[in-house]
Structure 1
């Protein structure tokens, strides 16, 4: 099988529908408008930004994959500059044709143009193929980002509160027994 030539370019709003198809699992379900409207806003924001890019890979004139590139820091605590290669995704019918490598090449090239020494990759935790691909590109796990709805975290925090706080400020049994032992020792020493 011969490889088709992969052409990389910046995304335009005309690519919004194709990008929604690629990144549907990552996008929110908008309560107003459509996912395509959200994607148009994302593309426009990246185009207007000096630090963000949405790169599209084409094969034979069709959108074969895409990647979102962002200049950032490694974390709010580690201010090392990094190019974040967010969700490099290749359409299933274009896999094994060099599209993923070309997308990662665009991330490395973007980092080199800006003098950035590190590239970070992000993909869905459930995407085994994406994790294997990023590992082959020498990207090692750095952190785990866990996400949950706010109301679910609130419910878990409420359940995990000590029972003493819920019942009129009583001390836990262990503290009561420790105080009694301490008082008993004081009386015996007098």
Structure 2
């Protein structure tokens, strides 16, 4: 049984169509041609910045996986530097061949090259296999990012306003007051 070699390298513009397939659920929802164009811009920006790197791993001559690396801080409040390994992803057909390890090795090497002490990653919470893989490598869960459309969040954090600025609760209270007045008037009126 022959083993194929893994080649780790920086992404090139020619990798954009394969990356659009690999990250189809992570890139913006758009026409496939627009997604490829977006990834071409991302590849170009990463190549031009010493604080970014888009790494791909080839297996048997084909693109097998990729990760976007970026030097930033642990959070806006914790200014310790870290390398973010964003969306490390492997094509299903290439799993269990060391591609994921090669991607995380690239993240570790990038951190070491830049004197950064921490590597953080983000994998989908629903991907049990990815989360278990990261745990085996020693990455512990720290936070869970949550996302919602702004309009949905607006509807939940403040009551929806109806026409005239009256919300549902105000209308209920006004209806109760009207009923009380009507009852009180019936009791006071002589026959």
In structure 1, the residue matched to 2:55 is 55
Aligned CA-pair RMSD: 2.4
Residue 160 to residue 151, structure 1, CA distance change in 2 (3 Å): closer
In structure 2, the residue matched to 1:182 is none
Cα contact 2:69–2:86 (8 A) shared by 1: yes
Give, in angstroms, the shift of residue 128 of structure 1: 1.4
Residue 32 to residue 55, structure 1, CA distance change in 2 (3 Å): closer
Give, in angstroms, the shift of residue 33 of structure 1: 5.7
Listed one character per residue, the Cα deviations across residues 118-148 of structure 1 (whole Å, up to 9, x for unaligned) are 1101111221111111111100011111100
Cα contact 2:69–2:84 (8 A) shared by 1: yes
In structure 1, the residue matched to 2:138 is 138
Listed one character per residue, the Cα deviations across residues 69-118 of structure 1 (whole Å, up to 9, x for unaligned) are 00011000111110111111111111111110011000000001111111
Find the aligned partners of 1:57 and 1:106 in 2 and give their Cα distance: 9
- Report the TM-score, using the length of structure 1 for normalisation: 0.81
Q: Structure 2: which 5+ residue stretches go unaligned?
A: 174-191
The correspondence of residues 9-48 of structure 1 with structure 2, limited to 5 A, is: 9-30=9-30, 34-48=34-48
- Report the TM-score, using the length of structure 2 for normalisation: 0.81
SS at match of 1:97: coil
Residue 81 to residue 31, structure 1, CA distance change in 2 (3 Å): same
Listed one character per residue, the Cα deviations across residues 16-54 of structure 1 (whole Å, up to 9, x for unaligned) are 000011110111113796211111111111111121110
Give, in angstroms, the shift of residue 14 of structure 1: 0.5
Larger of the two Rg values belongs to structure: 2
SS at match of 2:158: helix
SS at match of 2:142: coil
The correspondence of residues 1-190 of structure 1 with structure 2, limited to 5 A, is: 2-30=2-30, 34-159=34-159, 167=170
SS at match of 2:40: helix
